[in-house]
Structure 1
C-alpha cells in the first residue's frame, strides 16, 4: 500500500519521529494534536476551551493540507487528563462539526506530551 506524508506549516511541527498525517488506502490518519501555536512553537495555556480551540485549529490545518475538512472526518479520539473537562472540550469540539458527526471515543489519561490537558487525533476519508 502506498502512503503519502501530509505536512502543514500551519500546524505544529512534530516533536518526535512521526508525521503530522499519513494518507494511505483512501484514508488520512492525523496524529494527535496538542495546543501548540504553530507560529511561535509555544504551548497555548489558559482554560481548557482555549487549549481545545488551538488543538482543533491545528487539526484543521493538517486536514486542509490534505485537501479535506472536518466534514471528511470519520473518527476522532480525544485524550483528556481530567474527564471533568469533558463538557468544555465537547462544546468547542462541536463547533467544528455541523452534521454527520464522526465516531468518537474520549478517554482520561494520566499524562500527555508537554504536560497538556487535551490531545485529539482524527481519521478522515480521502
Structure 2
C-alpha cells in the first residue's frame, strides 16, 4: 500500500467534516471539494458565480502549493453546481486558471452542497 500523507495548507479554510483538504498518495494529490470560502474570513466570498468559482480554485491551488505543486499539474477537475444555468459564469472564471492542455473535467448539477454553497470544486493533481 502506498504511503498516504494529509495535506493541510496553512491559512486554508478549515474542513467542515472529518476529511483532509488534500491527500497525497502514489504520486497523485487528491484535493477534496473546495467551497468558495475566503480563508481570511472563514465565510463565502461576496459576489457572483465567477467570484465564487475563482475562490474555489484559489483554495484548490493553496492545497496544491502546500504539496509542492501548482494548477499546471492538475489532470482532472470535478465541478459541482446546484444550477447548470451557472455553467457559463463558472466556465469563464475557470478559464482564467488553466491553459492548454486543459485538465479533464466533469461538471455535475447536484441538489445541494455543504453549507448551502452553489459550487464546489475538487481536483486530482500529478505531483512533481
TM range (shorter): over 0.9
Corresponding residue of 1:51: 52
Residue pairs, 1:13-92, within 5 angstroms: 13-92=14-93
Aligned to 1:12: 13
SS in 2 for 1:119: strand
80-89 or 41-50, which moves further after superposition? Answer: 41-50
Distance 2:81 2:101 in 1: 24
Measured in 1, the distance between the counterparts of 2:11 and 2:81 equals 24
Which of structure 1's runs of 4+ aligned residues deviate more than 4 A? Answer: none
Paired residue total: 126
**SS of match in other structure, 2:77:** strand
Post-superposition shift, 1:45? 3.4
Q: Tell me the TM-score normalised to structure 1 length.
A: 0.96
Taking structure 2 as the reference length, what is the TM-score of the superposition? 0.95
Q: Which runs of 5+ in 2 are unaligned?
A: none
CA contact (8 A) 1:10 1:58 kept: no
